[in-house]
Amino acid sequence: MADMASEIPINIEDSVKETIQNVTEKPPSSIEGIAIAYLSLVIMAILPIFFGSFRSVKYLNEQKKAGERHETMSNKDALMFPLVASCALFGLYIFFQFFSKEYINLLLTGYFFFLGVLALSHLLSPIISFLVPASIPNIPFHIHFTRGERDNKQDIINYKFTSYDVICLLISLCLGAWYLLKKHWIANNLFGIAFAINGVELLHLNNVVTGCILLCGLFLYDIFWVFGTNVMVTVAKSFEAPIKLVFPQDLLVNGLNASNFAMLGLGDIVVPGIFIALLLRFDKSLKRNSEFYFRATFSAYILGLLATILVMHVFKHAQPALLYLVPACLATPLALALLRGDLPALFKYEDQPAEPEADKSKKSE
């Protein structure tokens, strides 16, 4: 009896601790808070696609004016991408199983801090140029470091920037320091949105066939890693880096210190986004003063995202967003192009047509 009596307080204490832990693991969320979180995720997802698409048109035009060819994804690259992504994802999962999560995230945080500062600086550049008064001069600078002389001279560093770019860099460094110190969800989202906009702007699919191959491959990739295993969900929850957008469902209850997050991976924004941006460039090539295919597919993306959120909320289980986004983003433009008689033009369109062999041989000479 004495032995049993001595065990009772310990059992009660353990049970109380377990109850407290279960209560505190998932902070309470109101219906309104959940609705705000999902709506905010949708808005944060569509803004990078919208602005990134128009920036991609501008970027491509600048490349063409400068006579430069932008690197684009080939069909082979699109086929290999899901395999490479699968290897990277599973590798991270193994690392998190055998090594300390804190040390891995420390290394990744430093890496994404550097990339995030550059992405945010690039995004802020036109905004700062617009906001800074004309009375403050925009002084150009040029860092040029070469090796060798005359015909043997090679550029090591050849970088041009302005005083406005320095302002962008300082602001980005301050935001980066905030993220490093606090890991606050707002700082995370600022970097995530910057990554997404830059991705949609700079990552170009050259034609629709490549886009179809990439989207279909990642469609299968997303389904397998979410429904077939717990790998993607585990990595997403363990990975403390701005590769996802988050918004607290308990914001109305706990304010800015809320911690029960709804999340959306940047891949679910950037991958459909680069395809939608391609359709905008196709619209511009038709010279009809219309953005028909872009707007239709953009609307389909929003509906697909809402469907993802609805199913996730109803079944209380993480959903592969591309399961809903890929059919919406592929079926919409293809069906509309078929009805309007633009299907041959859609499949023939290329951002950068292949160079004739004669031109290639001249350049090599």
Give the range among 25-34, 80-89, 168-177, 216-225 with minimum mean pLDDT: 25-34
What number of helices (H) and strands (E) belong to the chain? Answer: 14, 6
Please say whether the beta carbons of 337 and 346 come within 8 A: yes
| 304-317 residue pLDDT tens | 999 998 888 787 77
Whole-number Cα distances in Å, 327 to 55, 59, 86, 272, 295: 25, 28, 21, 10, 16
246 phi, psi to nearest 5 deg: -130, 155
Encode pLDDT of 14-37 as tens digits.
443 443 344 345 555 678 888 888
pLDDT band at 7 (very low <50, low <70, confident <90, very high): very low
Read off the pLDDT of residues 166-186 as tens digits, 9 standing for 90 and up.
889 999 999 999 988 888 889
Phi, then psi, of 233 in degrees rounded to 5: -65, -40
For residue range 231-268, what is the model confidence (pLDDT) as tens digits? Answer: 888 887 777 778 889 888 888 877 777 778 888 889 89
Least confident range of 24-33, 117-126, 201-210, 239-248: 24-33
Cβ of 18: how many Cβ atoms within 10 Å? 10
The fraction of the chain above a pLDDT of 70, given in percent, is 88
Model pLDDT, residue 364: 45
Output the pLDDT for position 356: 53
Cα–Cα dist 66/283, whole Å: 22
pLDDT value at position 160? 77
Residues annotated as catalytic are 222, 268
Cβ–Cβ under 8 Å, residues 30 and 313: no
Written as one letter, the residue type at 16 is V
- Which pairs from 74-82 meet CB under 8 Å and 24+ separation? 74/206, 74/210, 75/209, 75/210, 75/213, 77/210, 78/205, 78/210, 78/211, 78/213, 78/214, 78/217, 79/213, 79/217, 81/214, 81/217, 81/218, 82/217, 82/218, 82/220, 82/221
Q: Which helix (H) or strand (E) holds 205?
A: strand 204-205
Q: What is the mean pLDDT of the chain?
A: 83
Residue 124 has which token pair? Answer: 């802020």
- CA pair distance 164, 307, nearest whole angstrom: 42
